[in-house]
Structure 1
Amino acid sequence: MKKDNLYLFTLLAISLVVFLIGYFAMVYMEKESNYQVLQFQIDSGKREAQEIATLVSNQLSHGLSREVVIQNLQKSIEGSNLEKGFISMLDWSGTGICHPDPQEIGVKNRLEASYARPLGNAIHTTEFYELVTNFSHGGEKDAEANKTIGTEIIFLYPVKNSDWIIAAHANVARIHEQFEELKLNLLLIYLLASATISLLALVMVRFLGSYYEKALEIKNEKLAEEVLSLTKLNSDLYDLKNQLNKNVEKDSQNGLEEGTNKIKNRLLTYSKDKLISIRVDDIAFINTEFSLTTITCLDGQKHSSNSSLDELMNGLDPLYFFRANRQYIISVKGIYEIFKYGNNQLKIKLNPASSKTIIISKNKVSEFKKWLNY
């Protein structure tokens, strides 16, 4: 149940981040795409208007009458697709002279409302964008034709040696529809992409989660086995201590008398200038450092010995004493607790504590376990 909640919250968090980032990215892409469309429309209209103005000016300069020039231009542009941008010719009062729709000839355009002022300068992309986005399909109606006016002059260019002006028109209504279609398409792509990314992210989280969960389970199993092993070692240590306390008075019956098997019950030590005999049962551990052998008793008292660890070990009962390493001999009574250490090693905690950490190497771990479980 906790895992399900974790995956649910993960999905919600990922979805929130993806949807937020995706939304702002979509808005940015939509605006940039619209700007590029409008800039293309402006450049196209500007180029076409300048070319038409140059053509008309050349015809006038070659001696063609104004009427012939108007007829030629009208024939070339009449019937042009009004769904996109188109070209018309006006006089300086704004009255249409040539237009793709013959019904617009003679109709006066409101040049003062044009976004292309002054002459020769096209509408700015930002202004064009605001014009398109603020366009309403329920706009003003033409009284005679009863149709929606949805075009706007975006560029005006004068014809040399005449009082004519070439106007580049843009169908704002159609561009507005294109913007809406683009917005809808981007929205659908945004929703589908965000949902797909969120689901794929969830799948990856679950896949990686399951992989690490398996690894964690294996690690926990190994840890549980090690805990059981350490628990058993400490249990064996406890049992061995109890056995030692019960068998202290029966050593002679088990063939461990001093002089028979060379197992000593007492050791002769010295402290400063005094010779002291201590019971083997009172020893916690024996260690050597800088060629000096020290015997530490359970009560914390320390005594010195002239014998080496090898010599002392030969006289100690192997049931109750263990050679941990080259520096330490430990008594079962002196072991307080056993811990796992490193890779297949054990760390021994003594009571009283030793000055150095006592480590049972992996080569002697098996021997140590058998000693505790004897």
Structure 2
Amino acid sequence: MRGRDPGEEHRASTPLELLFDLTFVVAVSQAASQFHHALAEGHVGSGLAAYAAVFFAIWWAWMNFTWFASAYDTDDAPYRLLTLLQMAGVLVLAAGVSAVFERGDFALVVAGYIVMRVAMVAQWVRAAVEHPEGRGGALRYAVGITVVQLGWVARLWAPGAWAWVTFLVLVAAELAVPAWAEYRGSPTGWHPGHIAERYSLFTIIVLGEVILGSLAAVHSAVAGRGLSAPVLLIAIGGLLLVFALWWIYFTGSEAGLTTLRTALVWGYGHYVVFAALAAIGAGLEAALDAVEHHGHLPVRGAGPAVALPVVITLLMLGALHRVTRTGAVGHALLVGGGALVVLVLGLSAPALGTGGAVLGMGLAVAATLAANLFTVRRRAEGH
């Protein structure tokens, strides 16, 4: 384990990385499904808090593996077996998602993390032993991950409000470990193009979950009462949202991760992107429940349930564009204007109908995409 060349040409995701990502399909699906049920039952506040916490656990587990693999993927037998152990931990985490939403019980999620952290620390220790040039950073990662994980275990006994206070403190500690290890130790040789591709693939996974969850909800609605106009409009609007957001994200060259600072901002910012994209699926399912009069979410809540994650996604993509100069973002005002229109449409669901509001959101994001593409093209032509 001598470290990969960060300048290696044609570096692509490996079959093992793709198999690893499949375990996160389960975890993301569980989080989105539980958030959908919380919205449908009208438990918006508690559901949102549980969703944000669970999605952080999912995203951070994936990110830890991805950046390590970008620097030290040897693809030999020990590496593969430790990756298998991490995959098992992800599935344990996914099994604990429902307990977080129902009872605020993180025990099974933490158990999954212990399994993953044993494998991750073993990988870092191996890198420290076999790659002397990167030993300082590898050891800092191993120590930092271990200490924070002990904190997560201790947090299980935190009483009342302290449970969430300690959660936020430990999240900050988790985010600080890579910065501490990279700045104070020996920087790891992560590959910018490989990292950009890995994030792109996870974006596809999340968008796929949006489509799958929405399709299941449409099928349920049609099987119950037949295809109605509101259901059809939500289905069309949801597909437009997914496609337009995909187009915005995947326009341009690979991310310009030229420094550690830009890499951390871009990498950490994707927590918001991934969580918001998955929440769009939960919102679409909740909107379908509302038009079919299932659950307790009123129409005035169904519109914002879709609009708010779309707005957050647009604004975050616009912000990340300022860091890497990628994506279909011609001007920040265009993105902000599109987000404002989406928000207004979401709040207008009682007047427009939930179906009309969701279709309008899809058209608004498509128009935002078209305006930005036009601006980018004119800029490239020197106008």
Sort the TM-score into its range (normalised by shorter chain).
under 0.3
Relative to the length of structure 1, the TM-score reads 0.22
Relative to the length of structure 2, the TM-score reads 0.22
Tell me which of the two structures has the higher relative contact order, counting C-alpha pairs closer than 8 angstroms and 6 or more residues apart.
2
The structure whose residues are more often strand, as a share, is 1
The structure whose residues are more often helix, as a share, is 2
